[in-house]
Amino acid sequence: MGPATSIGIVGGGQLAWMLAQAARRRGVELHVQTPGPQDPAVGLASSVVQAEVRDVAATRELASRCSAISFENEWVDLEGLKALAADGVPFVPDLEALRPLVCKRSQRELLNRFNLPSPAWFPLDRVMELPEVPAAGEDPAAASAPPATEAPPQLPQGFAYPLMAKAASGGYDGKGTAVLRSDADLEALLERVEASNWIVEEFVAFDLELAVVAARDQMGDVVCLPVVQTHQHQQVCDWVLAPYEANHALQQAVRNMAASLLTALNYVGVLSIELFYGPRGLMINELAPRTHNSGHYSIEACDLSQFDLQLLAVSGQQLREPALQAPGALMVNLLGFEQRSAEDPLAAYELQRQALAALPDAHLHWYGKAGASVGRKLGHVTLLLQQQDPAARRQEAMQRLEQVRQIWPLPPGSDAGQSS
């Protein structure tokens, strides 16, 4: 396939918006499918199919305008889209490559299959499986045991509290996760959720979280952005420091994981990997088959951003390794910190935006979302760092984070002092 110059994106949020900005710079047409007329990407798209992202007929319409289709996120109707693929609609990545990535349970199965390090886990409904009953006559107590249907939930062998429960699909930014500290927590969770859609993981005592954005082209070449450190606050990404001053072996280990995953899946496009790093080495927490919050810094800090990589890969072009064009960068997410109604003239946080944009070497990205509830990702700011020495650069980053915090506090209920 020759280079596609018109790309369709299912989704119209901030990731599609930043992709549309990169598309403009590169002279690529970008069409989007998104439900809201005010959605971030609408104003920049070459055309819009206004429909829910799971509306397959709308995706067919989108495909009629484009030479390749990709996705803003993994909440797609793979079964429904099969018919389009059968009719020759070129999805990049391919639907089969996406299949194991669209839910956390199939991701865990995939990682186990590939022997890639990841937290031990079990499907939540396993706790309701009947415990093994000793054969009659072996255990006199068995006769008086309560009927199996009333048996309390039991953790599988080898697991102990605390545990991390997660919705297999539909969760993001910590929505759809629950820490379990006791049987009571487990029972409360079972009351509240559909057990067949949840998994439970060991709680990992990591030192810090890392992430990498990788991409593979149609020729099979894999490239990676630098490994970064991500910092979450109440399970939502708060800031990202690039690059993480990893030693060569760690960088290589991360790249090898990315390359083996992308190659084994025959995946074309950008894929992001979130990792835990600590006493047990590296563990993969999550895969995102798309551009990712942890790669936003690349817009200013690299000579090819994650959005450039996505456009190049989806349009069938060859990728080259992106390089940093500054010693480093700090990206800070701007989460709504006050309840503001859409009609409120202050809803757009105008003063804070001006103050952030005026910081030296700062690049503000405001997503223009309608509605600004507390905790919602409304934008981000990337600050380019000057220090060459990793320790000095980290110190510089923490000072710059402090400057941002003076203007833009964390949402309430937060422990603002936690910034390591």
Q: What is the DSSP letter of 233?
A: E
Does position 286 interact with ligand ADP (CB under 6 A)? The reply is yes
User: Cα-flanking dihedrals φ and ψ of residue 83, to 5°?
Assistant: -60, -35
Nearer to ligand ADP by Cβ, of 2 and 413: the residue is 413
Of the candidate spans 173-181, 263-271, 290-298, 304-312, the one that interacts with ligand ADP by CB under 6 A turns out to be 173-181
Q: Please, what's the largest Cα pairwise distance for the chain?
A: 80
Q: How far is the CB of 239 from ligand ADP (least distance, A)?
A: 13
Cα→Cα distances 394→95, 364, 383, 401, 420, Å: 40, 21, 12, 10, 10
Nearer to ligand ADP by Cβ, of 119 and 327: the residue is 119
Of 206-245, binders to ligand ADP (CB under 6 A) are: 209, 232, 235
Tokens describing residue 139: 């255990």
In the block, residue with structure tokens 């950008």: 270
In 101-227, the DSSP E strands lie at 121-123, 163-167, 177-180, 198-202, 208-216, 222-224
Nearer to ligand ADP by Cβ, of 177 and 419: the residue is 177
Rounded CA gap, 378 and 348, in Å? 9
Does position 76 interact with ligand ADP (CB under 6 A)? The reply is no
Nearer to ligand ADP by Cβ, of 117 and 368: the residue is 117
Does position 285 interact with ligand ADP (CB under 6 A)? The reply is yes
Yes or no: say if 230 and 274 are a contact pair by the CB < 8 Å rule: yes
3-state secondary structure of 263: helix
Cis previous bond, 37, omega within 30: no
Q: Of residues 109, 114, 203, 324, which one binds ligand ADP by CB under 6 A?
A: 203
User: Cα-flanking dihedrals φ and ψ of residue 272, to 5°?
Assistant: -110, 145
Q: How far is the CB of 179 from ligand ADP (least distance, A)?
A: 8
Q: Of residues 61, 94, 125, 173, which one binds ligand ADP by CB under 6 A?
A: 173
Of the candidate spans 45-53, 197-205, 220-228, 398-406, the one that interacts with ligand ADP by CB under 6 A turns out to be 197-205
Does position 414 interact with ligand ADP (CB under 6 A)? The reply is no
| One character per residue 79-118, x = contact with ligand ADP (rule: CB under 6 A) | ----------------------------------------
Q: Of residues 36, 171, 368, 411, which one binds ligand ADP by CB under 6 A?
A: 171
Q: Which amino acid, 157?
A: Q
Instruction: Give the bridge partners for 333, in sequence order.
Output: 380
Of the candidate spans 49-57, 172-180, 246-254, 403-411, the one that interacts with ligand ADP by CB under 6 A turns out to be 172-180
Does position 204 interact with ligand ADP (CB under 6 A)? The reply is yes
Q: How far is the CB of 101 from ligand ADP (least distance, A)?
A: 12
* Residues making up the chain, counted from first to last: 420
Of the candidate spans 1-9, 171-179, 364-372, 385-393, the one that interacts with ligand ADP by CB under 6 A turns out to be 171-179
Yes or no: say if 309 and 20 are a contact pair by the CB < 8 Å rule: no
Helix 56-64 and helix 78-86, axial crossing angle in degrees, nearest 10: 40
Rounded CA gap, 407 and 399, in Å? 13
User: Cα-flanking dihedrals φ and ψ of residue 289, to 5°?
Assistant: -80, 65
Of the candidate spans 32-40, 200-208, 294-302, 334-342, the one that interacts with ligand ADP by CB under 6 A turns out to be 200-208
Tokens describing residue 347: 């809803």
Q: Of residues 174, 368, 409, 411, which one binds ligand ADP by CB under 6 A?
A: 174
Binding site for ligand ADP (CB under 6 A): 119, 164, 166, 171-174, 176-177, 201, 203-204, 209, 232, 235, 274, 285-286
